[in-house]
């Protein structure tokens, strides 16, 4: 095992500056129930960008340091610093999930040495990562680290959306930013499980991406007929639950209006309070940072908009139910839950301004993978 253990760190100063850097960290000895993973693949998810870049204005990013130890600084607007108080002057590790080879293990985890595993442990943008053996998911024989790097967040999120639907007595779903990596997984799950799914995209190219994988209900939010098409799709599917990755602006309200209109098509009597059927929109992303706009005029009184977080949901359903979801992911890792990447980059490349701008675009269909050991033996 190498003595080198570079970690990518993100720090925000009290003066309103983001600082990204690479630091050497000691590789700790594993306790009896721990392992050391040589990290070979870790995706850049939107949740990672939230910690990595925070609210920094990336257009102000400046490169510094040396070729082997680059740094990035960027400015943060004063009005965005209020929410950063808890992390001021802390050099935080980044990378929620990843995969690699177990190179060292404690006494109770020796069977994992040499295995390719995935882990959801934070701090995965590092050459080596110490984690609990119980946090490791052993990948099937012949699976590469890249193939298993994204087997936690997006797959568990997609499965948990369907599980939420069932537990809250809904029968169909609406999903926004639906051509994303996660959205395509959700489509495959819903097709396999017979769950009607209404997909909201923002252009014809994204719609075509979903058609190619068999999606039936696709609504383009830029279409002049968007509301009519969305209402028709919701009426046909009976969807009363939506997961919204956009969050800001009017889209959540438009979904509620479409749901209420679809339900009222079947009503035979007038109710001044609207339909008694509950309609729910959960926001789980922040692709649009504007406030959510709700006009209650056409949504009735039986509705809700709230936040939804994977971590909280898994805590709610408990370890046994979570394990069942994990087992399905392993069984369908190369089919339902396969991920595709735009590029594999090194830790050093991850701190190049142009590369940062590329992966910070969060463009649908683009997903970047960090290999912390790329360029190292």
Burial 134-150 (b: 16+ CB within 10 A, else e): ebbbebeeebebbbbbb
d(CA 174, CA 259): 10
Supply the pLDDT for residue 377: 67
Q: Does position 77 have pLDDT exceeding 80, yes or no?
A: yes
Query: What CA–CA distances, in Å, run from 311 to 97, 173, 275, 284, 314?
Result: 13, 20, 32, 11, 5
Model pLDDT for residues 19-63, shown as the tens digit of each residue: 999 999 999 899 999 999 999 999 999 889 999 999 999 999 999
Exposure of 209 in the CB half-sphere (CA atoms within 13 A): 22
Q: Does position 101 have pLDDT exceeding 70, yes or no?
A: yes
What tokens appear for 174 in the block?
Answer: 């609406």
Q: How confident is the model at residue 3 (pLDDT cuts 50, 70, 90)?
A: confident
pTM of the complete model:
0.85
| Nearest Cα to Cα of residue 178 among 230, 228, 225, 224 | 230
Supply the pLDDT for residue 159: 98
13-17, 175-179, 349-353, 372-376: the lowest-pLDDT one: 372-376
Model pLDDT for residues 245-269, shown as the tens digit of each residue: 999 999 999 999 999 999 999 888 8
């Amino acid at each position: 095992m190498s003595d080198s253990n570079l970690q990518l760190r993100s720090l925000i100063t009290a003066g309103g500056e983001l600082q990204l850097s690479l630091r050497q960290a000691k590789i700790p000895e594993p306790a009896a129930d721990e392992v050391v993973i040589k990290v070979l693949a870790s995706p850049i998810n939107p949740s990672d960008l939230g910690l990595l870049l925070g609210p920094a204005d990336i257009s102000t990013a400046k490169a510094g340091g040396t070729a082997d130890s680059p740094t990035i600084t960027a400015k943060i607007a004063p009005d965005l610093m209020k929410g950063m108080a808890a992390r001021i002057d802390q050099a935080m590790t980044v990378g929620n999930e990843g995969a690699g080879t177990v190179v060292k293990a404690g006494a109770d985890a020796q069977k994992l040495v040499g295995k390719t595993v995935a882990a959801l442990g934070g701090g995965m943008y590092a050459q080596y990562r110490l984690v609990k053996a119980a946090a490791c998911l052993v990948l099937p024989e012949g699976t590469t680290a890249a193939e298993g790097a994204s087997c936690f967040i997006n797959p568990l999120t997609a499965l948990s959306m369907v599980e939420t639907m069932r537990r809250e007595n809904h029968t169909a779903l609406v999903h926004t930013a639906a051509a994303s990596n996660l959205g395509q997984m959700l489509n495959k799950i819903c097709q396999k499980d017979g769950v009607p799914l209404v997909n909201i995209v923002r252009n014809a190219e994204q719609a075509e991406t979903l058609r190619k994988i068999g999606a039936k209900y696709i609504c383009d939010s830029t279409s002049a007929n968007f509301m009519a098409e969305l209402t028709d799709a919701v009426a046909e599917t009976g969807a009363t639950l939506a997961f919204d990755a956009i969050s800001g602006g009017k889209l959540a309200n438009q979904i509620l209006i479409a749901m209420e209109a679809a339900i009222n098509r079947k009503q035979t009597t007038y109710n001044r309070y609207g339909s008694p059927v509950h309609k729910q929109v959960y926001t789980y992303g922040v692709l649009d940072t504007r406030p959510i706009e709700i006009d209650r005029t056409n949504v009735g009184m039986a509705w809700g908009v709230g936040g939804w977080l994977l971590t909280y949901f898994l805590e709610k359903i408990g370890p046994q139910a979570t394990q069942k979801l994990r087992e399905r992911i392993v069984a369908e890792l190369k089919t339902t839950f396969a991920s595709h990447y735009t590029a594999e980059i090194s830790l050093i490349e991850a701190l190049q301004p142009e590369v940062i701008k590329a992966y910070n675009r969060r463009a649908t269909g683009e997903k970047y993978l960090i290999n912390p050991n790329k360029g190292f033996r």
